[in-house]
Chain A
Amino acid sequence: MRWMWIDTIVTYEPDRRLVAIKNVSLAEEHLHEHFPAKDGLPAQPVMPASLMIEGMAQTAGILTGSLRRFKEKVVLAKIQKAEITQDVVPGQCIRYDARIERIDPMGAGTVGTIERFDHRTGQWEKIGETEIMFSHVDQNMSGQAFPEHNFVFSDSFRNVLRASGLGHLMD
């Protein structure tokens, strides 16, 4: 079981760009702990920034994996930059827009934009930027061996791809 932090993929431009959506719901338990009512102050549920970074990492990771038809084991290697300037609250929607900046046999560099959609205003607003690097673990410099099966792109990832109409990328 892998916890997915994207709901669906809405745009896929081969070798270049992938955009995913995450709807934030009050039914998500973690929002009740982030932040609960305390010291007479009311609860203030907001989407944790760390999970938004994970959502972008999953988006950019799928894009990186798609470059080699998911044959490489792609793992998050380094977050060079992650800036999130606004909160996202239940009822809002997050859009992760990831682009490949550089690909190499050893790994890939990606840049991303995070936006939020507010149904009251009907508008998207940019709230963050990321730069995330991924490593192809079988090509690592240390020569360390990993299991042959691709443990990165598990069923959870495959289900999102299929549901988004991109199942053919795994063929």
Chain B
Amino acid sequence: MAISRADIEEKVTDVLENALGADRDEIIATATLTEDLGAESIDFLDIQFQLEKKFSTPEKPFKIEQGELFPENMMSNPDYVKDGKFTDAGFAVLKEKMPHVDLSSFGGDRNVRGLAKLFTVKSLCDFIEIKLKK
């Protein structure tokens, strides 16, 4: 049976409460993981591992590959990132691989530091919903 959006949001909230020690009333759709909920770089891996556990079932494991949820594997690729900024090719790949992230508000300079600020609670829920439909 397909999982509802409300169930996804509930489980994502559980994960963020556990991984970041955030209060549940702070974990709203528009909250950003870094600025609003205080996530640091290692927390992203923790969130990834916990989402896998939360959404896995005995029948169907839920495995998130490197670079699928967060684009960490793009950072060291000089074709995608140059002088700390996404290149045109990198930005195109980002748009293709990260449909769960709203890139419309990404700063014009495409500084990689700004990317983490775009990940919201909604981004995680969208990611789960898209991935479960595949």
Contacts and interface: CB of A to CB of B under 8 A. Distances in A.
Interface residues of B, number: 17
A133 B42 contact: yes
B76 A101 contact: no
Which residue, of B45, B48, B49, B75, has the highest number of chain A Cβ atoms within 10 A?
B45
Contacts of B43: 78
Nearest to A103: B49
Interface residues of A, number: 17
B4 interface: no
B49 A142 contact: no
A107 B93 CA distance: 24
A106 B45 CA distance: 7
Interface in A103-139: 104-107, 109, 133, 135, 139
Contacts of A105: 66, 73
Contact of B75 (A101, A107, A143): A143
Contacts of B66: 104-106
Given A104-B66, A105-B66, A141 B75 contact: yes
Given A140-B41, A141-B41, A106 B46 contact: no
Contacts, number: 42
A78 B49 contact: no
Contacts of B44: 141
A106 B52 contact: no
A18 to B, nearest CB: 19
B88 to A, nearest CB: 20
B26 interface: no
Contacts of A101: 49
A142 B48 contact: no
Contact of B49 (A109, A141, A143): A109
Kindly list the 7 A-B residue pairs having the minimum CB-CB distance in the complex, ordered from nearest. Answer: A77-B42, A141-B72, A109-B49, A141-B41, A102-B49, A106-B45, A78-B42
Given A104-B66, A106-B72, 13 more contacts: A77-B42, A78-B42, A78-B43, A80-B18, A101-B49, A102-B52, A104-B45, A106-B45, A106-B66, A109-B49, A139-B72, A141-B70, A143-B75
5 contacts: A102-B52, A105-B66, A135-B45, A140-B41, A143-B75
